[in-house]
């Protein structure tokens, strides 16, 4: 039941209205692994430079993250420098130093190739396609992307869509990819190109899952303060796929619950800089937050039709 993620393992320098963090652990592969490994072992594929503080990934190793696929190349690590203003929904990129990531060619170790669960984090869709060529018969492939690739590599992305099961996009991305302002129509358009499920991430407004069986919504967890939004989407994906892989079942009930585990992990990720909160987090805390999500969304239908109809008119 192996779960493989291919993504960036980076350094982030982030400034928010609440403080600044310098060259801390970042990257989609890192956030995904930190979230998913609470539920299921993870096999990580990525590249770091010779300046990377590999020791700081020790907490991932302790949680069962296999790093055979983490290449160490000579040169500087990928380093993202960004800023959030009070509108924490928008990241302002100050500098993107790709370093060794510029030449990243994902190579899956032999032991990874029977992966059942695959997460293709946001990298060049041509590389995402190459990863798929290296896995023999995955059970579920999920994929993320960004505006840059939708703009510049749309053809590769459309070829990729034919080969994946689940696409994760934010609102702007699904509109850009499909040309549909309406999310329902956009999701249907994406599904017509291959994926059996589409997740639309709406930040503080929550997330939606579209499948043939309909729509499922999870609200954003109501935090009093979002400290640093970096990594929320990849932590969501980690909670989502980690939960699915742990259960080993892909049906509507498990997909729904995976949405909630994803949302819970995204909400924890933004409580501190870097993967700070995910590092300390226990599975029990996650379950407790999932129960909170349940309390925040569940209601009972009126016991008798008459109650809702009222005593008034017929």
C-alpha 229/C-alpha 166 separation (Å) is: 23
Q: Which residues contact 286 (CB under 8 A, 6 or more apart)?
A: 38, 239, 261, 264, 265, 268
Question: Could you give phi then psi for residue 142, rounded to 5 degrees?
Answer: -115, 150
Site stretch for a second copy (CB under 8 A), options 98-106, 157-165, 253-261, 272-280: 253-261
Segment lying near a second copy (by CB under 8 A), choices 44-52, 75-83, 213-221, 269-277: 213-221
Alpha-carbon gap, residue 35 to 261, rounded angstroms: 10
Cα pseudo-dihedral 177, 182, 188, 192, rounded to 10: -30
In the complex, the smallest distance separating the C-beta of residue 167 from a second copy, rounded to whole angstroms, is 17
Using CB under 8 A, pick the residue from 247, 250, 271, 285 that binds a second copy.
247
**Under rule CB under 8 A, residue 34 binds a second copy:** no
> Taking CB under 8 A as the rule, does residue 63 contact a second copy?
yes
Site membership for a second copy, residue 296 (CB under 8 A)? yes
Tokens of residue 172, six digits: 């702007």
The token pair at 32 is: 């995904």
Please tell me whether residue 201 binds a second copy under the rule CB under 8 A.
no
Inter-axis angle of helices 183-192 and 171-178, to 10 degrees? Answer: 60
Q: Is 205 in the site for a second copy (CB under 8 A)?
A: yes
Q: Pick from 13, 37, 170, 211 the residue near a second copy by CB under 8 A.
A: 37
Window contacting a second copy (CB under 8 A); options: 43-51, 52-60, 74-82, 249-257: 249-257
The span from the CA of 153 to the CA of 174, in Å, is: 15
Residue span binding a second copy (CB under 8 A) among the ranges 26-34, 47-55, 89-97, 243-251: 243-251
How far is it, in rounded angstroms, from Cα 191 to Cα 162? Answer: 9
State how far the Cα of 264 lies from the Cα of 247, in Å rounded to an integer.
Answer: 17
Which of 49, 138, 206, 229 forms a contact with a second copy (CB under 8 A)? Answer: 206
Residues that bind a second copy (CB under 8 A): 1, 37, 39-41, 63-64, 86, 181-185, 202, 205-206, 208, 214-217, 219, 222-225, 242-243, 245-248, 253, 256-257, 259-261, 283, 287, 290-291, 294-302, 305, 307-313
């Amino acid at each position: 039941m192996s779960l493989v993620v291919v993504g960036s393992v980076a350094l982030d320098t982030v400034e928010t209205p609440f403080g600044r963090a310098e060259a801390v652990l970042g990257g989609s592969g890192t956030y995904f692994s930190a979230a998913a490994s609470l539920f299921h072992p993870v096999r990580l594929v990525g590249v770091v430079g010779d300046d990377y503080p590999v020791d700081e990934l020790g907490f991932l190793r302790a949680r069962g993250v296999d790093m055979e696929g983490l290449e160490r190349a000579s040169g500087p690590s990928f380093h993202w420098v960004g800023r959030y203003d009070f509108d924490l929904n928008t990241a302002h990129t100050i500098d993107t130093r790709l370093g060794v990531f510029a030449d990243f060619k994902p190579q899956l170790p032999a032991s990874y190739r029977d992966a059942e669960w695959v997460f293709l984090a946001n990298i060049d869709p041509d590389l995402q396609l190459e990863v798929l060529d290296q896995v023999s018969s995955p059970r579920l492939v999920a994929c993320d992307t960004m505006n840059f690739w939708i703009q510049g590599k749309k053809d590769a992305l459309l070829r990729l869509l034919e080969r994946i099961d689940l696409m994760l996009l934010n609102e702007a991305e699904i509109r850009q990819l499909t040309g549909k302002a309406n999310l329902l129509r956009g999701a249907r358009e994406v599904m017509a190109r291959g994926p059996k499920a589409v997740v639309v991430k709406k930040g503080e407004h929550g997330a939606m899952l579209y499948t043939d069986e309909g729509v499922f919504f999870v609200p954003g967890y109501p935090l009093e303060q979002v400290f640093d939004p970096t990594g929320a989407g990849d932590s969501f994906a980690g909670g989502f796929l980690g939960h699915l892989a742990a259960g080993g079942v892909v049906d509507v009930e498990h997909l729904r619950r995976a949405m909630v585990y994803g949302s819970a992990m995204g909400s924890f990720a933004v409580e501190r800089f870097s993967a700070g909160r995910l590092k300390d987090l226990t599975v029990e805390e996650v379950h407790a937050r999932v129960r909170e999500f349940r309390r925040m969304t569940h209601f009972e239908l009126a016991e008798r039709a008459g109650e809702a109809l009222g005593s008034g008119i017929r």
